[in-house]
Amino acid sequence: MKFDKIKTEEGGSYLAFSIGECDNVNPIELYEEYFIKSKLMVLKELLLAEMQIRSVEIDPWTVDKVVLGNAIKFWEDKKKEFSETEISSVFKQLLETNRKKDQVKLLKGFSLTPGELLSCIFYSYEEHGFLLSHIEGDHDPVGTETEKKPTAIHLDNGIVKKVGETDLTDGQLKQIVEQRKRTVAKIIEKDDNWHCFFITFSSIRGEESWKDGQPHFHYILDKFGISKVELKIRLDQENISLAIFHT
């Protein structure tokens, strides 16, 4: 899990946070930490900015106490939201059936939003004991490979904003933002059974042909004849080769 405040030369800053890779963890505990810590960062920055505008001084302990209480409340509300989301009967059946033929039949027309997926992940842990792994694969465009990348890259109306030193041109940095190949996968697993949902930046950018470029998750499970070890290897490849369904 990664949390960072990246200061710019102009005196501003970017807040950056991500789940990061993990293997076989309790998903509720993972997201509790993520939601609380990320909300803490945002709320603290907003409170400090407001205090500066109003020329008000509050001791750091009071600031931390105020934002922590709000961050915890934010997580409790999100957890309640996820727990109250109706879980698709298709997803429930996918967890309970062991026949590939039945699973393939269930998958036809099955769809999930990001929020529904997280609710399903929580459900699979609470009701069936499935643990969560989070896998990421990252590949920059050809010609932009370097060990000297800026700390942050941001496009503002097509203009490249960067923080930190780099040996890449603004054109190459823009290419990284617009063409980088990235895969983010969530795998729920119990014993030898696993289900993998992953999304690619190509899908998010509308560059894949499914439903005229509609962003979507890809889905694959253990019954498709691939081991989890091989799955992780392929998810990290620049061009993923997997027999998959789209959701």
* pLDDT above 70 for 89: yes
Quick one: 78 and 188 in the same domain? no
93 within domain boundaries: no
pLDDT bracket for residue 187 (50, 70, 90):
very high
Quick one: 226 and 126 in the same domain? yes
* pLDDT above 80 for 243: no
Quick one: 49 and 61 in the same domain? yes
Quick one: 67 and 9 in the same domain? yes
Kind plus residue range of the DSSP H or E element containing 233: helix 228-235
Quick one: 77 and 136 in the same domain? no
Report percent pLDDT > 90 for the chain.
Answer: 34
For residues 28 and 184, which has the higher predicted lDDT (pLDDT)?
Answer: 28
Among residues 116, 96, 94, the alpha carbon closest in space to that of 245 is found at 94
pTM recorded for the entire structure: 0.84
133 within domain boundaries: yes
124: number of Cβ within 10 Å: 23
Q: Is 131 helix (H, G, I), strand (E, B) or coil?
A: strand
The total number of structural domains in the chain stands at: 3
Look up residue 111 and give its DSSP letter. Answer: -
- Residue 86 confidence (pLDDT): 94
Quick one: 37 and 130 in the same domain? no
Quick one: 160 and 203 in the same domain? no
DSSP H helices, 129-206, are: 170-179, 201-204
The model's pLDDT over 199-217, given as tens digits with 9 standing for 90+, comes to 887 777 766 655 555 677 8
Quick one: 134 and 206 in the same domain? yes
CA distance 81 to 69: 18
- Residue 244 confidence (pLDDT): 54
- Residue 247 confidence (pLDDT): 54
- Residue 189 confidence (pLDDT): 94
Quick one: 212 and 190 in the same domain? yes
CA distance 100 to 223: 6
Quick one: 174 and 184 in the same domain? no
Exposure pattern of 131-147 as b/e (b: 16+ CB <10 Å)?
bbbbbebebbeeebeee
Quick one: 219 and 247 in the same domain? yes
Domain boundary among 66, 84, 102: 84
Instruction: Note the maximum CA span of the chain.
Output: 66
User: Highest mean pLDDT range out of 78-87, 147-156, 179-188, 194-203?
Assistant: 78-87
- Domain of 162 in residue numbering reads as 147-178
pLDDT averaged over the chain? 85
Quick one: 190 and 121 in the same domain? yes
- Residue 239 confidence (pLDDT): 67
4 within domain boundaries: yes
The model's pLDDT over 93-146, given as tens digits with 9 standing for 90+, comes to 988 888 888 887 887 778 888 899 999 999 999 999 999 999 888 888 888 887
23 within domain boundaries: yes
Q: Is 47 helix (H, G, I), strand (E, B) or coil?
A: helix
